[in-house]
Amino acid sequence: MADYQKIDTYLQNNLDKSIAELSKLVAQPSVGAQNLGLKECAALVGEMLRARGFKVEIMDTEGAPVVFAERKGRSDKTLLIYNHYDVQPPEPLELWESPPFEPSLRNGKLYGRGVSDDKGHITSRLFAIDSLLDSGGELPCNIKFIIEGEEETSSVHLYDYILKNKDRLKADACMWEFGGVDYRDVPMQYLGLRGICYVELSVETAGTDVHSGLGGSIFPNAAWRLVWALSSLKGQDEKIRIPGFYDGIQPPSARDRELMSALPEVADEYKSMYGVKNFIKGLTGGLDLRIEEVFTPTCTICGLTSGYQGPGSKTVLPARASAKVDFRLVIGQEPADIRKKLRAYLDAQGFSDVQITDLGGDAAARTDPDHPFIQLVARTAQEVYEMPMQLVPMIGGSGPSHPFVHDLGLPVATGGIGHPDTRAHAPNENVRIDLYLKHARHMARIITEFAS
Amino acid sequence: MADYQKIDTYLQNNLDKSIAELSKLVAQPSVGAQNLGLKECAALVGEMLRARGFKVEIMDTEGAPVVFAERKGRSDKTLLIYNHYDVQPPEPLELWESPPFEPSLRNGKLYGRGVSDDKGHITSRLFAIDSLLDSGGELPCNIKFIIEGEEETSSVHLYDYILKNKDRLKADACMWEFGGVDYRDVPMQYLGLRGICYVELSVETAGTDVHSGLGGSIFPNAAWRLVWALSSLKGQDEKIRIPGFYDGIQPPSARDRELMSALPEVADEYKSMYGVKNFIKGLTGGLDLRIEEVFTPTCTICGLTSGYQGPGSKTVLPARASAKVDFRLVIGQEPADIRKKLRAYLDAQGFSDVQITDLGGDAAARTDPDHPFIQLVARTAQEVYEMPMQLVPMIGGSGPSHPFVHDLGLPVATGGIGHPDTRAHAPNENVRIDLYLKHARHMARIITEFAS
């Protein structure tokens, strides 16, 4: 058995150094949607892994490079750790209290774009590895890292990479890129992710914008075409109208409902955190709200753009309009199939002029809550967090877990530095230093006990 | 009778000087929607008028200042000339072949924002006045200028200014701010303008944007609310659904149809100029298209904005969404009434959360095609353009002509430097130098014959 006291002491004494390493990684912008700094960030992650004795390969894809790294350990078991080095765009910049790419430590938190999602997870895991190497001289088991650069842009090339590198990625279990505590500071085990199908819908009705006084009565208007096409997809009843959209999906099982019932109420927290007055579909809270949140598919308009958007008025009839739309998918739905049904429906509704651009997708995936690896992760958490880990059968977010679960055949566990006010994807993203340290302690234990 | 040969020679010999004056005026940006350079431009226009012996008053309003100028002439008749010194935003900048505020002379045209709409009209009229002063030492009649700075932003404060200054603005006829030739180079007399009611519709559903994986199934989405509200206003049948919207409007008269019938076909010209493949409402061309274009009211989405609009994907559920919408109005409709009906309809449809911001409006107005002043303008055009002026009972655009026609009681005639490829409100706005000279010649004749 490893000397956890020695490990914990190492982690406590070297925390500042690890936060400095995280700050260095955050200071390297790597905005996938804007194709900013991805290669530079991949190289920096590669350096950090080499410094721990990992054999590193930075593999080009058609998009951002994938960082693959491997180091042998004492046991012949292999843990695959999945992370990503890309981050969400920092906009709107004016809402940040400190610049997004200049990490700033205030009140026990480090602020910056990517401190939590996902660079802090990378460095806290490297920190755990440092403690194991310090304690035992070598790793307890084989560790492989796969760190991609397109997670925030729907991991467009990851599936292909995984299928082509199944042997290289062979492992016995997988630690996912995120995890953390809920608002009570209870560590949570997130066992399933919804899928996603992200598209851009765009319309072009003319070669150039036209004065609205001239064309208003007689010319097609791209913004109107887009509004009508969008409103055909979903009505105010929140039902998605694409034929076959809901085919093959299943309601949550009795075990799912049991686990969901044990979760705390979220209604008030959501209202106060996001300034939302009411939920849709007549939901008010309780189990119904929690079940609806994660076990139903969605059609979300993420962005709209057309014509004049500045201050005041401009009398223009727009030639072009576009919308960013994401569909969150549940088990039983598949992104390519949804895109096909969307195309057929738009055509049938008379919207053949609406172009669909595929911006990536993943199917949903989940791991059995009663799998031994999940039990191990939950058990080791208890020692660090001093309370039982809570099992969550499914969450609302998405990620490329489908190929890990279904193509590599791995149980996938979460664990990490996240907390409810971490503001991933929003201004003032932050990580709590206490949770950063706890995750490193937890990871050191997971790796140790997994090896034995 | 004035010596038109002497006047024409003066205009020919001094054309470069007038184009230089126009260039100076265009080089002073005055973008109403962006509150850029308005006071500076008003001062510059004032200087140009004073240089011609006008008594100038620059009157503050709650918005951009109004330039009022007056010079007595030989006869006791008074011509009121209406112009505006504000311009449309120059965006998108990347489509300009030369910078919008650095006027550039190429192939017989001057390019720049505002060269046609409306600064070229101001300087060509000053140029005509120069020729009259050169020829006769004084003006043939009294001339008053009213030059506002909010025409491109719906002349929000002009109506109020006119009502408060009815005595000051007393006149016998009015020359409108624009006019010109059609694609055959035939001079056109535009006798009516549609009204406009410009609003911004905006929705806020939360205090902050939310990760779409979290909120998609349970949170209200501002972009969806906006799309649904917009689609309730007008369907694919192009019928505006606001109850009472069409109340009180009248079909074109027999005289209107007669004048419209005499106008040339526009379908092919519109298709080639704007890259539009088809018209809406099943229109293909001919009199039906021309009648529909100007005698029906519209609901045009001029702009849409919400959430993430950059490249690639961002999985965000927007807290805010807004649309710029203009309604073109016909005789019998009134902007305040339309806004009231819009509010009532949105409320009735469950969209009380959609805010309406008033961005200005005007009612439609028209002048009798058989009025003596219109006949004078048409007759004097014939000598300059060497062909008959064509009477157009109504056009699709809008302007604040309602108070001139209905409160000041004036006949309003158009005449100007416009041509079909003038690209007002679009990149590469331009004025043809030959038409600039012709308008100055025409104006010198209008003023002369109006005085007698």
**Which among B410, B382, B449, B448 has a CA at the least distance from the CA of B128?**
B448
In a domain, B254, yes or no: no
Does residue A389 register a pLDDT over 70?
Answer: yes
* Cross-chain residue pair B274–A196, CB shorter than 8 Å: no
Say what the pLDDT of residue B420 is. 87
Say what the pLDDT of residue A255 is. 95
Q: Could you give the CA distance from residue A295 to residue B313 in angstroms, rounded to a whole number? A: 23
In a domain, A277, yes or no: no
- DSSP three-state, residue B147: strand
Say what the pLDDT of residue B375 is. 96
Of the candidates A278, A279, A396, the beta carbon closest to that of B214 is on: A396
CB burial class (10 A; 0-12, 13-18, 19+) of residue B107?
exposed
Of the candidates B274, B301, B317, the beta carbon closest to that of A300 is on: B317
* Cross-chain residue pair A302–B315, CB shorter than 8 Å: yes
A303 → chain B, closest CA residue: B307
Q: Could you give the CA distance from residue A158 to residue A149 in angstroms, rounded to a whole number? A: 9
Q: A-chain residues within 8 Å CB-CB of B215?
A: 274, 276, 300, 396
Q: By the 8 A CB rule, do A419 and A273 touch?
A: no
Q: Could you give the CA distance from residue B222 to residue B210 in angstroms, rounded to a whole number? A: 11
Give the H or E element holding residue B25: helix B15-26
Q: A-chain residues within 8 Å CB-CB of B283?
A: 218
- Structural tokens at position B331: 């005789």
In a domain, B163, yes or no: yes
Give the H or E element holding residue B366: strand B365-366
- Structural tokens at position A38: 């991805």
Q: By the 8 A CB rule, do A156 and A63 touch?
A: yes
Say what the pLDDT of residue B156 is. 83
Q: Please, which residues bridge with residue B59 across strands?
A: B66
Q: Could you give the CA distance from residue B443 to residue B187 in angstroms, rounded to a whole number? A: 13
Q: A-chain residues within 8 Å CB-CB of B280?
A: 218-220
Q: A-chain residues within 8 Å CB-CB of B194?
A: 213
Say what the pLDDT of residue A104 is. 97
- Find which of B156, B225, B302, B306 to mutate to test the A interface (most A CBs within 10 Å of its CB): B302
Does residue A352 register a pLDDT over 70?
Answer: yes
A87 → chain B, closest CA residue: B314
- Find which of A190, A199, A302 to mutate to test the B interface (most B CBs within 10 Å of its CB): A302
* Cross-chain residue pair B396–A292, CB shorter than 8 Å: no
Q: What is the CATH number of the domain that holds B410?
A: 3.40.630.10
B318 → chain A, closest CA residue: A302
Q: Could you give the CA distance from residue B4 to residue B8 in angstroms, rounded to a whole number? A: 6
In a domain, A281, yes or no: no
Domain stop point among A307, A329, A362: A362
Number of domains in chain B: 2
Same domain? B76 vs B163: yes
Query: Which residues span the domain enclosing A229?
Result: 194-249+297-362
Q: A-chain residues within 8 Å CB-CB of B260?
A: none
* Interface contacts A/B by beta carbons within 8 Å: 316
**Which among A203, A217, A310 has a CA at the least distance from the CA of B324?**
A310
The 3-state secondary structure of chain A, one letter per residue: CCCHHHHHHHHHHCHHHHHHHHHHHHCCCCEHHHCECHHHHHHHHHHHHHCCCCEEEEECCCCCCEEEEEECECCCCEEEEEEECCECCCCCHHHCCCCCCCCEEECCEEECCCCCCCHHHHHHHHHHHHHHHHHHCCECCEEEEEEECCHHHCCCCHHHHHHHCCCCCCCCEEECCCCEECCCCCEEEECEEEEEEEEEEEEECCCCCEEHHHHCCCCCCHHHHHHHHHHHHECCCCCECCCCCCCCCCCCCHHHHHHHHCCCCCHHHHHHHHCCCCCCCCCCCHHHHHHHHHHCCCCEEEEEEEECCCCCCCCEECCEEEEEEEEEECCCCCHHHHHHHHHHHHHHCCCCCCEEEEEEEECCEECCCCCHHHHHHHHHHHHHHCCCCEEECCEEEECCHHHHHHHCCCCEECCCCECCCCCCCCCCCEEEHHHHHHHHHHHHHHHHHHHC
The list of chain B residues with pLDDT below 70 reads 1
- DSSP three-state, residue B73: strand
* Cross-chain residue pair B216–A278, CB shorter than 8 Å: no
* Cross-chain residue pair B312–A33, CB shorter than 8 Å: yes
Taking the CA atoms of chain B, what radius of gyration do you get in angstroms? 23
- Find which of B97, B200, B212, B269 to mutate to test the A interface (most A CBs within 10 Å of its CB): B212
- Find which of B265, B324, B353 to mutate to test the A interface (most A CBs within 10 Å of its CB): B324
Same domain? A389 vs A415: yes
Q: Where are the alpha helices (DSSP H) in B222-319?
A: 222-233, 254-261, 267-274, 286-295
Q: By the 8 A CB rule, do B305 and B321 touch?
A: yes
User: In Å, how far is B174's CA from the nearest CA of chain A?
Assistant: 22
Give the H or E element holding residue B20: helix B15-26
In a domain, B176, yes or no: yes
Look at strands B142-148 and B55-59 and give their pairing.
unpaired
* Cross-chain residue pair A208–B270, CB shorter than 8 Å: no
Look at strands A66-71 and A55-59 and give their pairing.
antiparallel
Same domain? A239 vs A304: yes
A215 → chain B, closest CA residue: B293
Same domain? B146 vs B90: yes
Same domain? A160 vs A233: no
Q: Tell whether the torsion through CA atoms of A436, A437, A439 and A443 is positive or negative.
A: positive
**Integer CA distances (angstroms), A31 to A43, A150, A182, A279, B280, in order:** 15, 9, 27, 32, 42
- DSSP three-state, residue B21: helix
* Cross-chain residue pair A324–B311, CB shorter than 8 Å: no
Q: Could you give the CA distance from residue B217 to residue B202 in angstroms, rounded to a whole number? A: 22
Same domain? B70 vs B108: yes
Q: What is the DSSP letter of B429?
A: -
Query: Taking the model in full, what pTM does it have?
Result: 0.85
Q: What is the CATH number of the domain that holds B237?
A: 3.30.70.360
Residue type, B371: H
Q: Please, which residues bridge with residue A412 across strands?
A: A174
Q: Please, which residues bridge with residue B187 across strands?
A: B181
Same domain? A221 vs A151: no
In a domain, A87, yes or no: yes
B300 → chain A, closest CA residue: A216
Same domain? B132 vs B217: no
Same domain? B56 vs B182: yes
* Cross-chain residue pair B235–A228, CB shorter than 8 Å: yes
Same domain? A208 vs A341: yes
Q: Tell me how far the alpha carbon of residue A404 is from its chain's centroid.
A: 15
* Cross-chain residue pair B210–A274, CB shorter than 8 Å: yes
- Structural tokens at position A381: 């958490």
User: In Å, how far is A356's CA from the nearest CA of chain B?
Assistant: 13
- Find which of A152, A269, A324 to mutate to test the B interface (most B CBs within 10 Å of its CB): A324
Q: Give the pLDDT band (50/70/90) at residue A262.
A: very high
Say what the pLDDT of residue A312 is. 85
Does residue A411 register a pLDDT over 60?
Answer: yes
Q: Could you give the CA distance from residue A380 to residue A190 in angstroms, rounded to a whole number? A: 15
CB burial class (10 A; 0-12, 13-18, 19+) of residue B17?
exposed
Of the candidates B210, B280, B326, the beta carbon closest to that of A315 is on: B326
User: In Å, how far is A296's CA from the nearest CA of chain B?
Assistant: 7
A224 → chain B, closest CA residue: B301
Q: Could you give the CA distance from residue A404 to residue A51 in angstroms, rounded to a whole number? A: 27
Same domain? A357 vs A413: no
* Cross-chain residue pair A319–B278, CB shorter than 8 Å: no
Neighbouring C-beta atoms of residue A40, cutoff 10 Å? 13
Q: Tell me how far the alpha carbon of residue B175 is from its chain's centroid.
A: 14
Domain stop point among B362, B396, B418: B362
Q: Where are the alpha helices (DSSP H) in B155-305?
A: 158-164, 212-215, 222-233, 254-261, 267-274, 286-295
User: In Å, how far is A162's CA from the nearest CA of chain B?
Assistant: 22
User: In Å, how far is A245's CA from the nearest CA of chain B?
Assistant: 15
* Cross-chain residue pair A293–B326, CB shorter than 8 Å: no
CB burial class (10 A; 0-12, 13-18, 19+) of residue B60?
exposed
Domain stop point among B362, B381, B400: B362
Q: Could you give the CA distance from residue A325 to residue A198 in angstroms, rounded to a whole number? A: 6
Say what the pLDDT of residue A1 is. 56
Q: A-chain residues within 8 Å CB-CB of B321?
A: 304
Same domain? A81 vs A39: yes
Does residue A237 register a pLDDT over 70?
Answer: yes
Q: A-chain residues within 8 Å CB-CB of B212?
A: 298, 300, 302, 326, 328
A145 contacts: CB under 8 Å, gap ≥ 6: A49, A54, A67, A68, A69, A70, A80, A81, A82, A83
Of the candidates A231, A274, A315, the beta carbon closest to that of B302 is on: A315
In a domain, B272, yes or no: no
Range A87-97 average pLDDT:
93
Interior angle at CA B305, CA B301 and CA B309, nearest 5: 130
- Structural tokens at position A88: 């969400």
**Integer CA distances (angstroms), A66 to A54, A128, A162, A163, in order:** 15, 22, 10, 14
Q: Where are the alpha helices (DSSP H) in B167-221?
A: 212-215
Residues, chain A: 452
Q: In the β-sheet with B55-59, what is the strand arrangement from edge to edge?
A: B55-59, B66-71, B142-148, B78-84, B173-175, B412-413
Summarised one tens digit per residue, pLDDT across range B271-310 is 998 999 999 999 999 999 999 999 999 999 999 999 999 9
Of the candidates A216, A276, A359, the beta carbon closest to that of B328 is on: A216
- DSSP three-state, residue B214: helix
* Cross-chain residue pair B231–A234, CB shorter than 8 Å: no
In a domain, B265, yes or no: no
**Integer CA distances (angstroms), A162 to A82, A176, A193, A296, B319, in order:** 12, 15, 18, 28, 36
B296 → chain A, closest CA residue: A217
**Which among A53, A96, A79, A121 has a CA at the least distance from the CA of A376?**
A79
Say what the pLDDT of residue B1 is. 56
User: In Å, how far is B56's CA from the nearest CA of chain A?
Assistant: 29
* Cross-chain residue pair A307–B315, CB shorter than 8 Å: no
Q: A-chain residues within 8 Å CB-CB of B401?
A: none
Q: A-chain residues within 8 Å CB-CB of B207?
A: 274-276
